[in-house]
Structure 1
Amino acid sequence: MRHLSTVDLKVEQVSGVTIVHFPQEVDAVNAAAIRERVLRLLNNGVTEMLLDLTGTRFLDSAGVHIIVRAHGRSTALRVPLSAAIPEEGTVRRVFELTGLSRLVPTTIGLPRSAGPAASRSCSTARARGRGRKPRR
């Protein structure tokens, strides 16, 4: 089991936004350390936060809990919070199934102002699974 201090979270400031880059896997092993770091950043006066999950390939219920707690804290502190998720894969599906994309403003990929990756807004209809092309 990992010790809390061994989780490497890249945190950077871009145009006044604190970007927290989540690791490839977020689960019960590292969730406490990630949650602690995210909440500490919010409590220390960031003006806006983006949770970058574009490089995350696995997110379990402990990871969902981190995002819900961050949303609650950011709402209480009146700090804008958003999330960037991959276009496809498990993390995107978790956001759709749990309703996280309706709770937290979500983009597909990093916003242009936050990094080199192109992004699209994740509309509510698309996040709920509507608006997709039918499978053949």
Structure 2
Amino acid sequence: MRHLSAVDLEVEQVSGVTVVRFPHEVDVVNAAAIRERVLRLLNSGVTEMLLDLTGTRFLDSAGIHIIVRAHGRSTALRVPLSVAIPEQGNVRRVFDLAALSRLVPTTIGLPRRLGGVVSRPCSTAGARGRARKPRG
């Protein structure tokens, strides 16, 4: 079993942005350690943060919780937070199903200013146009 301190997140500064690269898999096993590290970084006085999930292939509800908590903390601190996700795969499907792009600014791929080759805003294609009617 891995301990909280055993999660190695690659963190670097690129053009004034703190880029946090998530591991290949984010689930209940490593989520607490990742959440703790991301929140600690936000609390340390960063000026902007990007959560890089472009290399992540599996993300479950524990991963969603990390992103929602990070968004809440960054909003309270007035620190811009965004997320970069892969174009296809599990992570993209999770973002679409949970409509996370409506909560957190999200790009497909890394933004160009951070060394990405291809980047575009993400729309929650699966969530748009499916507004539920109020129950009466």
Q: TM-score by structure 1 length?
A: 0.90
1:13 is aligned to 2:13: yes
Query: 8 Å contact 2:58–2:90 — kept in the other structure?
Result: yes
Query: 8 Å contact 2:109–2:116 — kept in the other structure?
Result: no
Moved more, 15-24 or 1-10: 1-10
Query: 8 Å contact 2:50–2:82 — kept in the other structure?
Result: yes
Tell me by how many angstroms 1:129 deviates: 6.3
Query: 8 Å contact 1:96–1:129 — kept in the other structure?
Result: no
> Counterpart of 2:74?
74
Q: CA RMSD in A?
A: 1.4
Alignment of 1:123-134 (within 5 A): 123-124=123-124, 126=125, 128=127
Distance in 2 between the 1:116 and 1:108 partners? 10
Alignment of 1:53-68 (within 5 A): 53-68=53-68
Distance in 1 between the 2:14 and 2:8 partners? 19
Tell me by how many angstroms 1:116 deviates: 3.6
Q: Any runs of at least 4 consecutive aligned residues in structure 1 with deviations exceeding 6 A, and if so which?
A: none
Deviations 1:48-98 (A, max 9, x none): 000000000000010000000000000000000000000000000100111
Tell me by how many angstroms 1:127 deviates: 6.1
Query: 8 Å contact 2:83–2:104 — kept in the other structure?
Result: yes
Distance in 2 between the 1:55 and 1:100 partners? 18
Structure 1 regions of 5+ residues with no counterpart? Answer: 131-136
The alignment of Structure 1 onto Structure 2 pairs a total of residues equal to: 129
Query: 8 Å contact 2:16–2:48 — kept in the other structure?
Result: yes
> Counterpart of 2:96?
96
> Counterpart of 2:52?
52
Q: Percent of aligned positions with the same letter in both sequences?
A: 81
